[in-house]
Structure 1
Amino acid sequence: MQARVSRSKMESLEAAGRVLDPAHSREERLLVPSECKSSPTSHPVEPALVHQSPTQPVEQLSEMLLWHQITQVVVTSSQPETALSKIAAILGEAFGVDACLISVSTNQPQRQVAYWFANPNATIQQTEVLDTYSTIAATKADLVISDLQSDLQTEITSASETLPFRAVMKVETRFQGQVNGAISLLRSHPHSWADFEIATLNTTSDQVAVAISQVLLQQQVLKQAQYQSLIRRLTMSIQDCVELPKILKLAIDGTAQALQVKRGFVLRLRYWDPRHSIRSNVDRVPRARVIVECEWQQEVGQTAIAVEPASQAETSVSPSFWVSECVLCQHAISTSGALTLTDESEFPASVEPTGIAPIFDPAQMPALLLVPLESKNKLLGFIALQHDRPRTWQSDEIELAELVSAQISSAIIQTETLRQVESLVEERTAQLQQSLELQAKLYEITRRQIEKLREMNQRMDEFLSTLSHELRTPLTSMMLAIRMLREAKLSPDRRTQYLNILEQQCAQETNLINDLLALQELETKQVPVQLQKVDLKQVITDLTQPFYQRWGLKGLNLEIDLPKRSLTLNTDLSSLNRILLELLTNAGKYSDPNSTVSLKVTQQTGQQIALTLVNDGPGISEAELPHIFEKFRRCQGMTQNAVPGTGLGLALVKSLVQHLNGTIAATSIPLEGHHETCFTVLLPQNLERVE
């Protein structure tokens, strides 16, 4: 069971034992009255910490040997934490005690204690000794107590409360006139401390004081080196553009460990209105949210110098809260510089409904150091360092926190600047990409227009070439016929022949002009639809009669495949006749001699009629097939081979089919020595009038 000595017990200690006034001289401290001695056999002995004294008399303790051993430890020890533990072992073994403890008086929040135990396996008793010793070490006087339990018998209120040690001899160490620690020798059984023991410990305390000062100096040097290393690592991380979360973690971990606090946070402020981030003299609470960006929590430490136990209770941390909900944050925002609170009493009082955020919890963490993160008068957040015991924040600790704060602020500003630059670059890149895409579209549109212009020029050239051929040939025949008719001796038969030529060529020119006009009217949708019910079988029969006689001279055969029952169409008869006429004329013009042209009529689903016209001939190339329904477009070699035509027939057919709300398609399949060309027209069986 752990037992702590209260202040009243401490007063009893000073009354029961010999208290050596630190103001007395060295000679006075060595004078010990003989009545302090008592019989070591008058009280029971604690078995856990019993240690057998050395075989040689303790009077033979050599002060010079102790001084030499302590000096060797101070000179050779590379770690200040282990030096005091080694010195405690030297003194404990030299005096033959059960435990030796050396406490260091510093400005740190926790008292540092280096210890040595004769029985290192009694860990429970060691913990009890350390817990109970804290009050004794806090006294401001030297103590020589033969039997602690007997002298405090009136103060013990419970029979179960026992002390882990009985005899105590404590001597304070002074360096340059100031107390910097204490040496305590403990025995588990009552012991009357001899004069030479007190004198030797008093003499040795000067050397231990020097060792403590050296240890403190080494700790200060190591601490400053740790500070510089932390600042250097932060600077290098910022220069290397390390990610901000990693910089924040490095900063808060390094600062909290360097200052030996229990917990640390990096708090960021997210403002509702960014203009409120600028510090001003206006007494108002900004609408901002406090967000915990990074947190560090002390784990169970494992160091050579023991630290008195402290509460390890965890605080319920809220990930974020409003500034208006925490009076402490409001006070920190209105305060210039770091906010230092040494204990719970210094925390600002809560004013309903505003309290203190659970993250700070003064009951669990009474000491707080709150350093602002700011850049150019813009408040970015805070570094919060907390400790579970009251402590005074030293100037070098505040300075380190402010340096780390400046580094974090620079990292935040750098990250935000880089983010803004990246966002601006991405925005400009997106705009440039859109501009390039727009330029590419404009280029593509321009290219297509140029291609269309080239195509139109080519078609115009073809049209002019075709028109020239189609006009000159009839005109030439007409001119010759006129000249021959002027001959006086021309016979009546010859005159009739030339008149027939004139009439035929005039009709050809008239048909060309009519086709051009009809095509223009169809393209501009100026031709009305004249609906009427027609018998498709009768229309095809009447239309194909002239072709039998005309194609017979060429050796062409016409096959017609019609349904057995009659098909009635509600359509425009003139347009239907012109479609069939142009397709049959085109098939007869481009069919091989002695071949067969087939016309098939079928009724499709969806109230549609399919007209399929197939012929064998030179065919249409794959490259020219998509363009055969364009105006003035003729296959290569047709003009050179003197195949009559203007390139308007199929264009007129397509316009007429569309005029009847139908579709037309063409295929040309290569076979052995020829092509099978097929035109398929789909027409609605009941065409509705479109206004």
Structure 2
Amino acid sequence: MKKRLSSPPQCPDDVDRLQSYPVKLMQHPEEPAHQLLQQINQIIANRPATILMLQDMAKLLGVAFGVDCCLVTVMSEPSTEATIASWCTEEYLGLPHSDGIFSMEQLLMELHVVQCAAEPLNIEDISTIQKSLEIGCQSLPLPIKAVLAIPTRFRGKNNGVISLIKFQPHSWTQSEQQLLKSIESSCAIAVSQVAQSQLIAAQQQHLQKSDQHQSLIKQLTILSRSNLELNQMLQLAIASTAESLQADRGLFIMLKYTDPLFRTRSKKQIPNARATIVREWTRDIQAYPTSTSDTLKDQSFVISECGLCQRVFAESGKPVVINDYTEQKDILTATPLLAVEQFPAVLLMPLESQGKVLGFLVLQQAVARSWQSAELNLVEMVCAQVSNAIIQSQTLRQVQNLVDERTAKLQSSLELQAKLHERTRQYVEQLRELNVLKDEFLSNMSDRLRYPLTNMLMSIRNLRLPGIAPERQNRYFDILEQECTKEINLINDLLTLQKLESQQATPQFEPIDLNTRIQDLAASFEQKLAEKSLSITLDLPEDSLKLQTEVESFDRILQELLTNACKYSEHDTIVDLQATHQVNQLVDQVIIKVTNIGRGISSEEATYIFDKFRRGKGRWTPGTGLGLALAKSLVQHLNGTIAVESMQISDSDLSKICFTLTLPQFSNESKLYSESD
């Protein structure tokens, strides 16, 4: 970090006015902070935000605290200078600066740094104080023996340090520390204003230099900023450059390398390349009339034929400056295309990009000429801009060849992104639905678990009451048995569903009489149906059907379908159960349909009606949503299929809901057994 030290201002009147301030501090201890803050604020209000304001503040603080020296340090950003305003008492003003060099460790050992804040100093505060002392002690006449320092904070950041210094050992009092702490915020404002003023001044200087530089660059790059074609831009560039430097002739020469490995070789090696004059400008003189035509366009030569061009490579890309070629024509060859006999003063500047010579800018004079360094710098800047324009043109051509391919890839990528976005949106929507299902499931399961347990708990408590009649005891035992059965059935359903989904179970097929089985199951549901004023009709074939199936799973499927019909059927309607036989693709099948009349099932509900924990919207019938999911898993376990269809009844708000169960009549094992027979 650099330093900029200020000299103390010579204001005798102010010194006299402030010398009595320490006495006032001792006479009225409750007034010093207020008075000192007023004087600091007056300095901030009346003085411009410069180093002079900090000098006044350093003097004010030094006199007020009765110290030998006061340093006000502006801790600027690392990229800028640190500013220190110092004040010393008159007895030390004439002393020369100390030549002793003190290390920071030695300085800290000799100093007694006292924190002024109630809270401990953090590492940043200590580092800020150390940096300010490292810079400030270099300008002091004597080694410091005691210091009372405090970092100033503005908007939560350290922006400076106030250091009160004694050249003799001193023990700082609590009142001095508290007073310095009380004025820290006002000092921080002053330091911030000076830092901001310095920043603005630095920015103004930077802008002024930038404007000057931009003005020069604008003159040199005005052509490269235009939308002209490269050859037109080169023609105007060589003309404007030659005219501004009062040259008689200007050329642009481009190189085409025939050695692809030249880039990896030494810069001083002469390459195998062909040079072509692409643009030319000449002044209107009798010997060589003005020409902006393509007289020499496409006329080329090899580098080995021109000693002037070879010198660019031999001297690692440096420009070739010939004040008078007639003095060197015996030792330095030149291609006839340069016409050095007519234009003996030659300036040949390479056009370079990333160490590769793209070509040359050539300026020539009809008489001997000494090229000035400013002119060389100007030509070098022109060459830099032209090189950039050439690279941009070449890059543009390459990019243009890739535009269609990249555009096609981009279009494909956008389409893929759109698909991924849509897929992601669907996933998010599914996650939301699953979250809703989770909440519904937890609610249903909590009810299914809580109510039976509550009933069982109440029954147990009632059984413990003395004097319970036997009939009431039997009633409570019945309740316990019923609720336990519900809990066991629920747990068994969950375990069965999990087992079926993991495909751990293998069906145990056996033959059954389908008609008899259906009749028995229907009879078991008659009472439950009657409670809801429902009746059931059976449509079975005259000849009883035989079915190879797993009896327990088959019974459970029909029980769930009949339970579902009982729950959701309209009162005083009929539940129809039909069984038929059909052959589909040489496979014997049994078709069982359970039809009831009730509220219709929408197409949306039909897509998830067999999912576990899913229930129809607006259907408030108690349940866990496991019945149809378990039925479907059991059907798949038996190698069958199940489907639902909802058909609106004309002139009615009700619908016919039909669940169709399709099962193979014979298992694979029974077929193999029959074929072997």
Larger radius of gyration: 1
